[in-house]
Amino acid sequence: MALSLSGAGARTGDRTPRGGDALLRRKKTRDRLRTLGFLSPWLVGFSVFFGYPLIATVYFSFMHYNQIKEPEFVGLRNWSYVFTQMPLFGPALWNTLWLVVVMVALRVVFGIGIGLLVTKLKSGVGFFRTAFYVPYLAPPVAATVAFVFLLNPATGPVNEVLAAIGIDGPNWFNDPAWSKPSLVMLSLWGIGDLMVIFMAALLDVPKEQYEAAELDGAGPWARFRYVTWPNITPIVMFAVVTGVVQTMQYYTQALVAGKLASGVTIGPGTVIQPGYPDHSTITVPQLVYQLGFQNFNTGAACVLSLVLFAIAMAVTILLMRRKSGLLSAED
């Protein structure tokens, strides 16, 4: 009887760990399913709005597809056409990269400068904050139309004011040398979004650090370099990365400015080649639209889209690196 009881106890003891393992596995499975349930909205959105479009773009870049007939595999023919036979690809890529470098850099510098100015004001803060932010709310087309009118070389008030003080104003959007700087000025006019972001970052810098720097004899530049800049560096990083991504997609303002400056009457059935004057305002997104929706060359348009994606990812990764980007090793 004793041996029988001891054997039953041994068998019960053998079953207990296995039962505990099964319970533990079921608990882990429930935890994974719960986590997956919380992640499911993001996973669905990522798959539908990013994953599938990216895979489809790669697929169609190797196809001849006019959006009517079935896609036909052509290998690297679309890639060869874009890089060797498309005359506007070089100017469009150069203009896009020029705008990325110059426009993003100046927007960040002006955003920080205006943020510093507004935060240092003793009175009228609300007025200046509103005055700088309101232009950002203007629709891109309306803002571009207004800017082209202001910078009209013949009748624009800007050149009239310059002529009144003895300065011969440039042709702005009608001059290939001034068209891209004019677009940069347009972007600086709507600097209100970055101003608000940098104002929040500047107001979040601990005042104790400024007081300690002043006690150590630090001047304005030293306080900015050793106190303000380290505290706002993550926000600068955010502004640069988002600015690069947005400028790589620069389309509306350049297209509208070129069409208006050309003086061509736009009506039903009017087809205007982008990039006026002399292809100086054409960007890669304009080529994507022209190829994909006007020429129905979906394969080449997908190649250009992938080039934009690759450049944006490369620049973002470069900026995100702690040693070569904006972030220091301590951030």
pLDDT digits (tens, 9 = 90+) for 260-313: 888 776 666 666 678 899 999 999 999 999 999 989 999 999 999 999 999 999
Residues in a beta bridge with 63: 73
Ordered by start, the domain boundaries in the chain are: 2-60, 77-320
Question: Which residues lie closer than 8 Å to 102 by C-beta, 6 or more apart?
Answer: 180, 184
User: In what helix (H) or strand (E) does residue 63 lie, and over which residues does it extend?
Assistant: strand 63-64
**Using an 8 Å Cβ cutoff, are 184 and 99 in contact?**
yes
pLDDT digits (tens, 9 = 90+) for 184-211: 999 999 999 999 999 999 999 999 999 9
Whether residue 93 has pLDDT greater than 90: yes
Per-residue DSSP letter, 72: E
Is domain 77-320 classified as CATH 1.10.3720.10? Answer: yes
Alpha helices, DSSP H only, in 216-289? 220-223, 229-248, 252-262, 284-289
Q: The pTM is what?
A: 0.85
User: In degrees to the nearest 10, what's the CA dihedral of 71, 77, 81, 84?
Assistant: 170
